[in-house]
Amino acid sequence: MADKEAEKKQAASRAVDEVRDGMLVGLGTGSTAEYVVREIAARIARGLRITATSTSRATEALARSLAIPLVAFEAVARVDLTIDGADEVDSGLRAIKGGGGAMLREKIVAAASDRMVVAVDSSKLVPILGRFPLPVEVLPFAASFAARRLEELGPGPRRRTTSDGSPFLTDQKAYIFDLPLGAIPDPEGLARTLERLPGLIGHGLFLDEIDTVVVGEGEGVRVLRRG
């Protein structure tokens, strides 16, 4: 197993230590979240009693295949704990998410959650956000207009495509544009700018949602807590 995969798995396992009997748990999306889901399923098999809700169709299908008791998020008003991955995290527990294109649902589930724990491998820690191209989600109706406005923020926004070249579609059937902005000195200001753009329905900046980050580092883990 590559070191990075080992770190993701260790971080996922430590993050799942936060789960308690009786909780409603939000399940994130991506490869680290997949380790989380598999670990939760293993602990359920050993007696853990929880219900889960999912941030994406892909995670829902995985959780269902592992017999994790699920409730549709449409019927959920509050979640006890969500465990997710991230593409980048800074020392202020601000993150970029959306490499898997699920950040809109991830942000909604995070907002509904009493706590959000993010599990990452050590390569995801950055001194300043922006090495990872920032994903934003755009209604197809607004695609051309949004592309022009996103160009004003920095050159080279790219509409995400699948391996056959067709547009990548989110679970909401919307497009993702990836913005290669480089260092983002003012993520809060950028988030405000993006949130004022009609047709843009989500972005990957998670600035105050995350309470705890579990970082897989070598053979162990490091836990970073807000405040």
Instruction: Cite the active site residues.
Output: 106
- Residues in region 185-224 near ligand 5RP by CB under 6 A: none
Q: Please report whether residue 101 would count as binding ligand 5RP according to CB under 6 A.
A: yes
Residue 133 region by backbone torsions, left for phi larger than 0, else alpha for psi between -120 and 50, else beta:
beta
Give the C-alpha separation, 12 to 6, whole Å: 10
Min dist CB 218 to ligand 5RP, Å, is 18
- Of the candidate spans 27-35, 43-51, 150-158, 161-169, the one that interacts with ligand 5RP by CB under 6 A turns out to be 27-35
Chosen residue from 9, 16, 26, 28 binding ligand 5RP by CB under 6 A: 28
What proportions of the chain, in percent to the nearest 5, are helix, strand and coil? Answer: 35, 25, 40
Name the pairing type of β-strands 51-54 and 24-27. parallel
**Residue nearer to ligand 5RP on the CB measure, 48 or 210:** 210
Give the C-alpha separation, 130 to 148, whole Å: 20
Binding residues for ligand 5RP, how many (CB under 6 A)? 18
Min dist CB 123 to ligand 5RP, Å, is 9
CA torsion, ordered 12, 14, 19, 24, to nearest 10 deg: -20
Helix 57-65, helix 31-45: angle, nearest 10:
30
Give the C-alpha separation, 101 to 96, whole Å: 11
- Residues in region 73-92 near ligand 5RP by CB under 6 A: 84-87
Min dist CB 102 to ligand 5RP, Å, is 4
- Residues in region 31-70 near ligand 5RP by CB under 6 A: 31-33
Min dist CB 96 to ligand 5RP, Å, is 8
Q: Please report whether residue 99 would count as binding ligand 5RP according to CB under 6 A.
A: yes
CB count in 10 Å sphere of residue 148: 10
Q: Which positions lie near ligand 5RP, rule CB under 6 A?
A: 28-33, 84-87, 97-103, 106
